[in-house]
Amino acid sequence: MRAARRSVVASFVLHAVAAGTLGPRLPAIKAQAHVSSSQLGIALAGFAVGLFVGARFAPVPVRRLGTRGVMRYGAPLLGAALVTPALAHGLVALTAGLAFLGAVMGVLDVANNANAVVVERGYSRPVMSSIHGAWSVGLLGSSLLAAGAVAVGASLPLHFTVVALAIAICSVPLLGGLLQSGEHAKDVRIDVPHSRALPSVAVLLLGVIGFSSFLGEGAAIDWSAIYAKESLGASATVATFAFVGFSVGMTAARFVGDRLTVRLGPVRLVRAAGLVGACGIALAVAVPVTVVAIVGFTAFGLAMAPVVPVTFSAAGNLHEGAEAAPLGWVVTISYLGSILGPAAIGFATHLVSLRAALLIPAILALAISALAGRLRS
């Protein structure tokens, strides 16, 4: 189980490196592709659609290859997909590249979480938050490297190609301890739901919690640097620290999340997280000062960190019928937040300012707090 935990942690880190490389470079990608903020919202919606489709149909390759096979073969493909948006010129090419990257990340996310649920059961205590904390470490490290790449003026193709090669090469030794194919099958039900096997109300409400958290996280990842640069007038280098602050908050909270889950219980923990997250975003948009915005996004990261791990753990342990596929449904519904988030915020910039549009994740953080009672499962 220790070897399995180390390898699944490594897979989460590699997945996060792709996200952490992309987020801080979005202003440069936007400029290179010559797209407006609303068009970037469309392109990011393509990325989120790819995430959704990948998560929705991930059980197909998982059934054929097992989670181990999907994770090991998927890592080099993730590196290749990461390069595509760095080469894009124009809205169509950017949207297609981001959709491809999103699809690969969606498949890997379901496989990673299915594998992690089994590891958690093997430990007989909460470990999901710390495993997700490894994702935050990868996000933080790669975002800091991206900030450095911006500072030294590294081109997008060079930066993304180096990262892609690192992901592919490192995956070979790091993922060797993953659980063998099929070991997860009797424990984690992620079959593709049939049309007659609709999710129960309990599954749907867990999905709403995940949806709200993913929308908020996606807003911070996709728009925090752009908000600091374009709305607050920060320099390109300083603007990346709005994203970095969010990453620091996520990382710090996830490594204490398992202990907090044991001490407070999932309900009280997530209820408080929703309230703090709403206050963090409200602070970032209410006080138009770069330093305050960085503090607000950091607080938002701290608050949102335990929400998804606790929700996915609850879904993976629901005693539902095999066709209901609780974890698969919750991951899929959660990714709807990633789909609607960039599009909604991008569209809202046509009607109101980006500052006002960022209140959307604050409202959904309050919804997370209201629905926290569903995590007793």
pTM for the whole thing?
A: 0.76
Task: Give Cα separations from 61 to 108, 149, 167, 233 (angstroms).
Answer: 10, 35, 21, 46
In this model, does residue 188 exceed pLDDT 70?
no
- Mean residue pLDDT across the chain: 85
pLDDT-derived band at 293, boundaries 50, 70, 90: very high
pLDDT number for residue 317: 75
As given in the structure block, the two tokens for residue 93 are 């090419």
pLDDT tens-digit series, residues 322-344: 433 577 788 888 878 877 776 77
As given in the structure block, the two tokens for residue 85 are 């948006």
Residue 148 carries which side chain, given as an amino acid letter?
G
In this model, does residue 186 exceed pLDDT 70?
no
pLDDT tens-digit series, residues 69-100: 899 999 999 999 999 999 999 999 999 999 99
108-122, 205-219, 255-269, 352-366: the lowest-pLDDT one: 108-122
> Residue 230 and residue 311: Cα distance in Å, rounded?
34
pLDDT tens-digit series, residues 314-324: 887 776 544 33
Instruction: Tell me which of 324 and 12 has the higher pLDDT.
Output: 12
Instruction: Tell me which of 198 and 259 has the higher pLDDT.
Output: 259
37-41, 81-85, 111-115, 184-188: the lowest-pLDDT one: 184-188
What is the CATH code of the structural domain delimited by 2-177+190-376? 1.20.1250.20
Q: How many CB atoms lie within 10 A of CB 194?
A: 10
pLDDT number for residue 95: 94
CB 285 within 8 A of CB 373: no
279 Cβ contact list (under 8 Å, min separation 6):
299
138-142, 145-149, 289-293, 299-303: the lowest-pLDDT one: 138-142
pLDDT-derived band at 169, boundaries 50, 70, 90: very high
pLDDT number for residue 210: 94
pLDDT number for residue 180: 63
